[in-house]
A and B are shown apart, each in its own frame.
Chain A
Amino acid sequence: MGAPMTSSQNVNGPRASGLSGSLGEFALRVEHLGKRFGDRVAFDDVSFEVGYGEVFGFLGPNGAGKTTTVRTLGTLIAPNSGSATVAGIALSAGNGPAIRARISIMPESPGLYLRLTVMENLECFAGLYELDDVHGRIERALRAVNVLDRAGDPCGSLSKGLRQRVALARALLNDPAVLFLDEPTSGLDPVATREVHELIASLRERGVTIFITTHRLEEAERLCDRVAILNTTLRLIGRPDELRAKLFTRSLDVRTRTPLDDPTAVFGAVPDVEGWEQARSGYTLTVSDPDVAAPAVARALVGAGSDILSIAESRHSLEDVYLELIDEDVEAKTR
């Protein structure tokens, strides 16, 4: 697990000094949390920690329990088991208002009042958070998401991408200690998605602690320091490269102009190569250390008179990790 970063700033300027310290070591600490609706288990035995300033991705297929987890941590739903600390406050019904004052959740649907203007929407929420300097805060939040020039427009006249930005501005109004983004790019076109990604990246640079639920793996890989994969239970947690290392052996993809006459003789002679197999456009070698093995393999191929087109470490994406885990779950269920 990566060391939690500390956070000192957010969209509305520097936080009160020592806020991170006063809230505890972790922005989120979840221990064996579970929620069921009748007989249906939404999520079970979920434990993880998120440090201040960290961008944490929560991945999983539809129905995995991601949104329910967020709603539980946001005190909208009461858990059936386990415990949690959110922004330094123990999760309980009595602490609901205090927790909700320190966090923000941007739901999957922006949920704006479409007949009201952007400014009127945000004024309402500034009141709900009992904020001072209302118009200053709204201006800074709208500037942070680049929609200040649309402040007087009715939300119903905005595009989907702009509505998402306004929802993000709304979520930033109260300088949240933890910002939950539930499927922030769901239903957006590629341009709007890229804009939202850029906004999240800028928030990350400002040190905002962000908890993103998504099933878009490239999004998690691009934005998150660590990710957790949830499929009712927590399947795996770590940095994307750690997850790849955990699930997949390291390997080299080798391409030659013509097939080798005797691959076993060539690759078997290289000490760092543990095995090989024919791939569609070359060979895949299982190696203990690609950095050591690659030059040795190159020498062996040249020695065998082969023309090398490429030698590269196999790159498993987060998608490979995800699919591997979900496939395991499907197999386990059908067994």
Chain B
Amino acid sequence: MSLSWIRVRAIAVKELRDYRHNRFVILTMALLPLLFIVAPMLQLFTAPAVAASSKLDARVGISLLYLLLIPAIVPSTLSAYSVVGEREQGTLEPVLITPIRREEFLVGKAFAVAAPTLTIAYAIFGIFLAATKLFANPVIASAVFAGSHVLVQLLFTPLLAGWSIWVGIAISARSSDVRVAQQLSVFASLPPLGIVALMQFNVITSSTGLALALAAALLIVDGLGWRAVAAIFDRERLITGART
């Protein structure tokens, strides 16, 4: 089955235009990343330069983990709104009575959440790295740039976002209440972050190979996500509320 990228684009553009005027989305996109950059900065800039290597690693791990909360949490709240929110507004039925296939609808929604999330997550990470390099103690800065920290961060940002998006949309497609969907989505977005946390805290011995292997596994999950979510996306149930 081939997707119509015109229809995918139509959904994605509509979503992005809608975000622009949605105060909730603007606040989510602005406040959460701000929160998640202030906390890691404080962690690093208040760390004593003479701290033991293990303690320093823990500080760096916590700091970077804060940054990974951006791709994990920001998309989960948006994607959780994507289906059930439209259903509550009464805008879902007019869309579903066009020739759009459910896969196109879902991929369009996912793109619309992914684009601003990744832009913000990478921008914040860039600011964090620049600030660390310029203003942090050189010992701390070298700890941040050492090992696979940066690679893990770069790799896992889109992968965690992908997981959160698909889980959020899946929950949204089966929920009947926006708030419940958003709460469940935030919880469901966290498990992969746990594995990354174990790497960042060096509980699992971090290596480039392990990071790549985990990234590959998450990539497969993300790649199949749209098919899995499409399978549980039931037009009839969404329109009538009847369980089929």
Contact = CB atoms under 8 A, between A and B. Distances in A.
Interface in B55-103: 89-101
Interface in A261-289: none
Contacts of A60: none
A100 B240 contact: no
Contacts of A123: 10, 13
Contacts of B9: 127
B86 to A, nearest CB: 9
B99 A98 contact: yes
Contacts of B7: 127-128, 130
Interface stretch (B14-22, B33-41, B223-231): B14-22
Interface stretch (A4-12, A51-59, A73-81, A290-298): A73-81
Interface residues on B, range: 20 to 34
Nearest to B23: A115
Contact of A128 (B18, B99, B239, B240): B99
B93 A107 contact: yes
Interface in A161-212: 167, 170
Contact of B10 (A38, A111, A124, A167): A124
A233 interface: no
A127 B95 CA distance: 11
Among A37, A100, A124, A125, the most chain B Cβ lie within 10 Å of the Cβ of A124
A127 B10 contact: yes
From DSSP, what is the main secondary structure of chain B's interface residues?
A: helix
Given A128-B7, A130-B6, A76 B95 contact: no
Given A71-B239, A167-B94, A116 B21 contact: yes
B235 A76 contact: yes
A145 B126 CA distance: 51
Interface residues of A, number: 36
B10 A76 contact: no
Interface string A78-112: 10000000000000000001101101110101111
Interface string A124-138: 111111100000000
A170 to B, nearest CB: 7
A78 B236 contact: yes
18 contacts: A38-B242, A68-B240, A76-B97, A76-B239, A100-B98, A107-B93, A107-B97, A111-B91, A111-B94, A113-B91, A120-B14, A123-B10, A124-B14, A127-B11, A128-B10, A128-B11, A130-B4, A170-B94
Interface of B: 4, 6-7, 9-11, 13-14, 17-18, 21-22, 89-101, 235-236, 239-240, 242
Given A38-B242, A123-B10, A125-B10, 9 more contacts: A97-B100, A105-B93, A105-B97, A112-B94, A115-B22, A120-B17, A124-B11, A124-B14, A127-B7
Interface of A: 37-38, 68, 71, 74, 76-78, 97-98, 100-101, 103-105, 107, 109-116, 120, 123-130, 154, 167, 170
List of 7 A-B pairs having minimum Cβ-Cβ separation, nearest first: A127-B10, A115-B21, A128-B98, A124-B14, A101-B99, A111-B94, A97-B99
